[in-house]
Structure 1
Amino acid sequence: MNLKLVPVRAENKDTLINLYQFYEYDFSRYMDTDVDTNGKYALDIDFYWEGDERWNPFLIEVNGAIAGFLIVLFENMDTDPDPTHVIYDFMVLHKYRRTGVGRRAAVEAFNMYQANWSLAQIKNNLPAISFWRNVIEDYTDGNFTERYSPDSGNYIQKFSTKK
């Protein structure tokens, strides 16, 4: 399997917007969101390309086919010279789930940046919590921390890829 993370440029944002519809659909069970009167989830991702270099959207491609996307956010880059990196959004199409694509895409993202990482999942998204715990446990050989934040309702894992 040939997996690549392909940066999404502004001229290709429609592809990412289309994929976000699937992401919002999947996530609607946890966030209680609804579609608009046109049958779509309301989205605005233009800020990814409006000069704010904190946002780094990627398509996940497998053998040349789109398999999902992930967004890497350099959190607090405007105030911190060494920003924490976050996988802000992450989605793998159903066809590619449980095939190793998500794990490989996450590892590819971690390997792209030498940074401190923080990943969060909402408490009732048990599949995401399990996925990220397993990926991070394997990737770090158990060298990570996890805590539950009652304020945000998120589980948060932290680790570093710095050498």
Structure 2
Amino acid sequence: MIKLIPVLEDRKEVLQNLYQLYHHDFSQFTEEDLNNFGLYEVNLEQYWQDPRWNPLFIYHDDKIVGFLVILFENHDVDPDPTHVIYDFMVLRKYRRHGIGRQAAIQAFDLYKANWKIAQMNTNEPAILFWRDVISKYTSGNYTELFRHDLKKYVQVFSTRDM
């Protein structure tokens, strides 16, 4: 069973640790290097200073198996809120078992909103994952564009009428 649990400020160190793994996985696409302390530069303070940021742990069988961050792009203001899955990571051990798919669907189901999901054009596994999840979730009712300025694919859809 998959559960999404908000990351409270007293658990930010756990999220900080998970971000090290996230940046390690992502470094093949970003070419990011470690700092002199053997760590990736990660600053998560905005998550607890700005209410638009919503970090969530992904739990499976009472174990943390990843995290995701939902950004309320326009402060969740009606009548047209837009949310973004800003970061998303499932530990390698738990990938290809449907956990990421279930976590994404639970995230979409949390809010009636317009959604945008973006992937770097070099991250083929993420592009394929998100296209598949969103296509099945929306029954193909989404649009995709390529942002040349960002070098990212972006899928756009809405859960407002679902």
TM-score by length of 2: 0.96
Structure 2 unaligned regions, length at least 5: none
> Corresponding residue for 1:39?
38
Post-superposition offset of 1:83: 2.8
Query: Is 1:133 paired with 2:131?
Result: yes
Pick from 94, 110, 117 the counterpart of residue 115 of structure 2: 117
Pick from 86, 90, 93 the counterpart of residue 92 of structure 1: 90
Post-superposition offset of 1:47: 1.0
> What pairs with 1:76-87 in structure 2 (closer than 5 Å)?
76-77=74-75, 81=78, 82-87=80-85
> Corresponding residue for 2:151?
153
CA separation in 1, counterparts of 2:87 and 2:160?
22
Post-superposition offset of 1:76: 2.6
Q: Does the residue aligned with 1:34 lie in a helix, a strand or coil? A: coil
CA separation in 2, counterparts of 1:28 and 1:113?
31
Question: Which amino acid letter does the alignment assign opposite residue 122 of structure 1?
Answer: M
TM-score by length of 1: 0.96
Q: Does the residue aligned with 1:40 lie in a helix, a strand or coil? A: coil
CA separation in 2, counterparts of 1:149 and 1:17?
29
Equivalent residues, number: 160
CA separation in 2, counterparts of 1:70 and 1:12?
14
Post-superposition offset of 1:149: 1.1
Pick from 70, 73, 76 the counterpart of residue 75 of structure 1: 73
> Corresponding residue for 1:65?
63
Question: Which amino acid letter does the alignment assign opposite residue 43 of structure 1?
Answer: V
Q: Does the residue aligned with 2:108 lie in a helix, a strand or coil? A: helix
CA separation in 2, counterparts of 1:121 and 1:38?
29
Query: Is 1:28 paired with 2:31?
Result: no
> Corresponding residue for 1:15?
14
Q: Does the residue aligned with 1:130 lie in a helix, a strand or coil? A: helix
Pick from 102, 113, 118 the counterpart of residue 104 of structure 1: 102
Q: Deviations over 1:94-135 (max 9, x none)?
A: 111000000000000000000000010010000000000000
CA separation in 2, counterparts of 1:37 and 1:62?
34
Question: Which amino acid letter does the alignment assign opposite residue 16 of structure 2?
Answer: I
